[in-house]
Amino acid sequence: MNTIWFKGVLAVLAMAGALFSMPAQAGKTLDGIRSRGQVVCGVHTGLAGFSAPDAGGRWMGLDVDICRAIASAVVGDPAKVTYVPLTAQQRFTALQSGEIDVLSRNTTFTLSRDASMGLLLTAVTYFDGQGFIVPARSSIRTTRQLKGQKVCVQSGTTSERNLSDYSRARGLGIQPVLFEKEDAATAAYFGGRCSAYTSDASGLASIRSRQSTKPTDHIILSELISKEPLGPLVRRGDDEWYAIVKWVIHGLIEAEEYGITQAKVEQMKSSNHDPVVQRILGGTEDTGKMLGLDREWMVRALKATGHYGEIFERNVGPKSPLALPRGLNRQWTEGGLMYAYPVR
């Protein structure tokens, strides 16, 4: 073997190892957040259970908690978030222009949004599907019975496209009634202008809970017509920020798998000897340095919001006003689709 060649290979391998072990450099988004001391998070204008202000003006919901966890990880305080309420038409422009740092607004991951809009999909925070809500007094109990009916839908959403595709493929001749704003679409439905309203099933539960004077007067059909994986998006071109948002979410999901609750974070950090638990909590390894953060990044996120299961139950679960079943959003170990990348 050529000795000079072999030494050259060793030198290259050593250099590669050094590069992989180096701390991440802060990206421009993280620099901006640290400079202003705030994460700017785009949210829904008012979708109960996901992002809506309470009576005191404090933003609440599953999507809001994701923003709070991110802020805790990067600036050390879940309150250091500026919430920007955005309509479906405004949301992508606000992210593309830099008005917001992250869009956490019940937004479906699709190929076009990932490949042609200058955006990056981070991680799914809610697996959903498009459904229909109808008056209980009507005879409609299946989607087939919507043939020839008027259905209210918000324009500029995946719901509009899905409704058209579903109707055309099955020859149903559904008549979509389009509205730019969700409030206008739901008001038209509750006012009797349409036989049904269509959106993500979780959104239908939220709308029924918030806007109906008597929620039992409306039924959400059991059939779903699409796959709607929902989660936060960031701008393309800042890999460091993309990695931070993605790994905060996966950390919340994996923390549930290992039973790291909001109440037990500090206790488990000092007394639990499971290597995975210790990695998540920064006890044995400093995973934060690979993200441009410190080693306590996930400890702060979990103390602020709890793990994914706690976030789900508090905001949209069976004991919340929305009373949604865990369903596909159960952990993979329990037959669901929540499968975290390993924090290691």
CATH number at residue 142: 3.40.190.10
Share of the chain above pLDDT 90, in %: 90
pLDDT of residue 26: 54
Q: Are residues 119 and 151 in the same domain?
A: no
Residues 123 and 137 in one domain: no
pLDDT at 114 over 50: yes
State how far the Cα of 72 lies from the Cα of 56, in Å rounded to an integer: 22
Q: How far is CA 250 from the centre of its chain?
A: 11
Closest CA to 206 of 104, 133, 313: 133
CA 341 remoteness from chain centre = 16
Asked if the structure places residue 16 within a domain, the reply is no
In 3-state terms, what secondary structure has residue 283? coil
Distance in angstroms (rounded) separating the CA atoms of residues 40 and 132: 33
Handedness of CA 66, 325, 88, 226 (dihedral sign): positive
Same domain, yes or no, for 96 and 242? yes
Q: Return the pLDDT at 27.
A: 79
Residue 80 lies in a domain: yes
Shared domain check, 291 and 312: yes
Q: Please report the pLDDT score of residue 193 as a whole number.
A: 97
Shortest CA distance to 151 belongs to which of 187, 194, 112, 184?
A: 194
Does one domain contain both 255 and 306? yes
User: In terms of domains, do 73 and 141 share one?
Assistant: no
62-75 helix and 28-36 helix, angle to the nearest 10 degrees: 90
Sign, CA dihedral 269-275-277-279, equals positive
- What average pLDDT score do residues 178-189 get? 95
9 pLDDT above the threshold of 70: no
Is 342 part of a structural domain of the chain? Answer: no
Phi-psi region of 237 (alpha: psi -120 to 50; beta: other; left: phi over 0): left
pLDDT in tens, 251-305: 999 999 999 999 999 999 999 999 999 999 999 999 999 999 999 999 999 999 9
Contact 147, 172 (CB under 8 A): yes
258 and 269 in a common domain:
yes
For the segment 178-203, the average pLDDT, to the nearest whole number, is 96
If asked whether residues 237 and 115 sit together in one domain, one would say yes
15 occurs within a structural domain: no
H helix or E strand, kind and range, residue 81: strand 81-86
**Angle of helix 182-190 relative to helix 201-211, nearest 10 degrees?**
70
* Domains: count for the chain: 2
d(CA 290, CA 295): 10
Give per-residue pLDDT as tens, 131-150: 999 999 999 999 999 999 99
Where is the domain boundary, 193, 226, 259? Answer: 226
Say if 17 falls within a structural domain.
no
Sign of CA dihedral 136, 138, 143, 149: negative
Note whether 205 and 242 are same-domain residues: no
Give the global pTM: 0.88
Question: Does 2 reside within a domain?
Answer: no
Question: Has residue 189 been placed in a domain?
Answer: yes
Instruction: Identify the pLDDT of residue 25.
Output: 54
Residue 15 has pLDDT above 70, yes or no: no
Q: Are residues 121 and 135 in the same domain?
A: no
- Residue 78 burial (10 A CB sphere; 0-12, 13-18, 19+): buried
> Is residue 279 domain-resident?
yes
Q: What is the mean pLDDT of residues 105-115?
A: 96
Give the residue from 169, 202, 226 where a domain finishes: 226
Residues 108 and 134 in one domain: no
pLDDT band at 213 (very low <50, low <70, confident <90, very high): confident
Under DSSP, the state recorded for 31 is H
- Which residues constitute the domain of residue 143? 130-226
Shared-domain flag, residues 155 and 304: no
